[in-house]
Structure 1
Amino acid sequence: MAVRAIPASMDPTVVGSIDRALDQLEHEYRVSIRLAIESGSRAWGFPSPDSDYDCRFVYIAELETYLSPWHTYDVLEPPISGPLDLNGWDLAKALQLLVQGNAVLIEWLMSPITYRRDTEFCARLRAVAEEVTDRDEIARHYLHLGNKQWALFNHSRSLKKVFYSLRPAMVLRWLREHPASTMTPMHLPTLMRQCELPADLSAAVAELTGLKSQAHEMGSGPVPAPISAFITTELDCAARTFHESVAHDRVRAQAVAAEFFQAEALTR
């Protein structure tokens, strides 16, 4: 069964363009798109009035494509057109990156904005993700991302970049507070609701989010103290908490992912 979740705030003309582009890609490349979601600031929970539409998707090619020695592409990325940015991964690439500790596929599975979702396929994919994912590797993914974006903010002082540091820091907090879970929410407000946070931090984030939702350009300036303290504390804590895993059985994870891929490719 396919499902769809599109907020009323999204431009129906752009959404229609996304639908047509996905149909065209399926026809032109003879692929089956099983999951297509929004993965930009709209899905993260802090859009600006002029935020782009960042559609990301997972597809399965025809079996003949995988059996051919001339199978050369594993990414579909049509040219950016206006506010529309589409990018999709072949299922094989998505699984390879997942096993390596890349958290992007988990984010796509957890996006609150869905253009297309084969629910049965996504349920199976989520089960595989939960089985093969190593929490420490996912945490280090967000630690690297958070440190990189925080350094960019400190260089540019662009308030927009605060959010790109804040969300990874909030994911790290969520992972610490949910030690049995790996499927971290993508949406910043959801992350915050599911964490124990001081009131002054929540108020500061709400104020800054409100400013971003109204301003085309936020400009530069100092970060509200509760947000700055939270980001630096969580990044420092994560560096001490989430170490390189020696227990993760990557060989077994690869076998589980390969079995899933083969089953899905054969039954497309």
Structure 2
Amino acid sequence: MRSIPPSMDPVVVATIDDRLDAVADRERVAIPWAIESGSRAWGFPSPDSDYDCRFVYVRTAEAYLDPWPRRDVIETPLDAVLDVNGWDLVKTVRLLVKGNATLVEWLASPIVYRGDGVFRDELLVLAQDVVDRAGLVRHYAHVGSAQHAGWADGGRGLKKAFYALRPAAVLRWLRVQPGAAPPMDLRTLLVQGEASDALREAVDELVALKAVTREMGPGAVPEVISRFVADELERARAGGGSSGPLAESRDRREARERAAEFFRSAVERYAPVRTVGA
């Protein structure tokens, strides 16, 4: 599967495709999931936003039996435009069981460079089964609070505003919706989170402003947005962010068994065949 919006620079997209091909060839891995993360996937890019490609890769079955395993991340050179790196399937399933919010976001990205729909869907099902919603609430409350604290009085930068607004929108979604895989797009979060019309209209205007403002540019944040962020962060801190089960009440062993079962199945289906002499 592939989903690239027409607003993305085709030259940059082609460069990302080339990098993914080079990684697969050089590292002898399969890449069943590669997506865009960051502000473009969140729905509020600036004209100078970089491209943040993230991917999950699978090594050969023999590599997972090696007593000296390789690193569980693959990184490519970082520059002003491209940030392309990925996680090994081992790291992916381990972090998913721990409730890693970043991975959950990757699975929900609306921008897909390449991907196997079955692989994504099965990981989403696993996430719904094993991810601790209370852990997600703690994550987004921490991230949102850190960004909210960084707003400068009277001249709040748009980037920090959005980086606090989106965690607040996720917290709202987790409070009113079931499941553990919130959508990635900010506007979708607000609609599904049953945010007020006034808030959604203010966000739409701010998104339009950011679309013509440099990444670190300033901009006034409407009071309705500031109040929404503060209220959702305070509600989460007070313990009202999610009705999901706490991590302590979950059967961690069962979660690990489910994840291990998925891992073995995915290696069997996606691992590249080792060539003679490789």
Shorter-chain TM-score: what band?
over 0.9
CA distance in 1, matches of 2:216, 2:127: 37
- 2:184 counterpart residue number: 186
Displacement of 1:242:
4.2
Confirm or deny: 8 A CA contact 1:101 1:137 kept in the other structure: yes
For residues 57 and 153 of structure 1, what CA distance do their matches in structure 2 show?
31
Aligned: 1:131 with 2:129: yes
**Deviation, structure 1 residue 78:** 0.8
What residue number does 1:246 align with? 248
Q: Which one-letter code corresponds to 2:260 in the other structure?
A: A
1:38–1:87 distance in 2 versus 1, CA, 3 Å: same
In 2 relative to 1, CA 114–174 (structure 1 residues): closer, same or farther, beyond 3 Å? same
Q: CA shift at 1:168, angstroms?
A: 0.5
% same residue: 51
- How far apart in 1 are the matches of 2:211 and 2:220? 18
Check whether the contact 2:36–2:53 (CA below 8 A) recurs between aligned residues.
Answer: yes
Residue in 1 that maps onto 2:167? 168
Pick closer, same or farther for the CA change 1:192–1:242 going to 2, 3 Å.
closer
Superposition deviation, residue 159 in structure 1: 2.4
| Residues 90-99 or 3-12, more deviating | 90-99
Separation (CA, whole Å) in 1 of partners of 2:219 and 2:120:
42
Give the conservation status (yes or no) of the 8 Å contact 1:30–1:61: yes
Partner of 2:95: 97
Say which of 256, 259, 264 aligns to 2:258: 256
Aligned partners of 1:218 and 1:70: how far apart in 2? 43
- Structure 2 distance, partners of 1:235, 1:228, is 11
Q: Does the 8 Å CA contact 2:187/2:200 hold for their aligned counterparts?
A: no
Q: What's the RMSD between the two structures over aligned residues?
A: 1.7
Matched-pair contact (CA < 8 Å) for 2:90–2:263: yes
1:203 CA drift (Å): 2.0
Counterparts of 1:215 and 1:248, CA distance in 2: 45
What is the letter of the counterpart of residue 260 of structure 1? F
Tell me, which stretches of 5 or more residues in structure 2 are unaligned? Answer: 272-278
One-letter amino acid of the structure 2 residue matched with residue 258 of structure 1: A
Q: How far is the alpha carbon of 1:218 from its aligned partner?
A: 5.5
Q: 184, 209, 212: which one pairs with 1:211?
A: 209
Report the TM-score, using the length of structure 2 for normalisation. 0.90
Change in Cα spacing, 1:105 to 1:218, as seen in structure 2 (3 Å) is closer
In the alignment of these two chains, the number of paired residues is 265
1:72 matched to 2:70? The reply is yes
After TM superposition, the structure 1 = structure 2 runs for residues 30-69 of structure 1, keeping only pairs within 5 Å, are 30-69=28-67
1:140-151 correspondence runs (5 A): 140-151=138-149
Structure 2: how far apart are the matches of 1:130 and 1:36? 20
Q: Give CA-to-partner distance per residue, 1:199-250, whole Å, 9 cap, x none.
A: 3212221111111001125634653211111001001111222485431222
How big is each residue's C-alpha offset from its partner over 1:107-135, in whole Å with a ceiling of 9 and x where there is no partner? 11110000011112112211111111111
Structure 2 CA distance for aligned equivalents of residues 131 and 154 of structure 1? 40
Q: Deviations over 1:128-156 (max 9, x none)?
A: 11111111111111111111111222488
Match of 1:29 in 2: 27
Point out the more displaced range, 216-225 or 125-134: 216-225
Structure 2 counterpart SS, 1:241: coil
Bigger Cα displacement from structure 2, 3-12 vs 68-77: 68-77
Q: Provide the secondary structure at the position in 1 that maps to 2:250.
A: coil
CA contact (8 A) 2:170 2:189 kept: yes
Rounded to whole Å, the distance in 2 between the matches of 1:116 and 1:215 is 30
Hey, what does 2:150 align to over in structure 1? 152
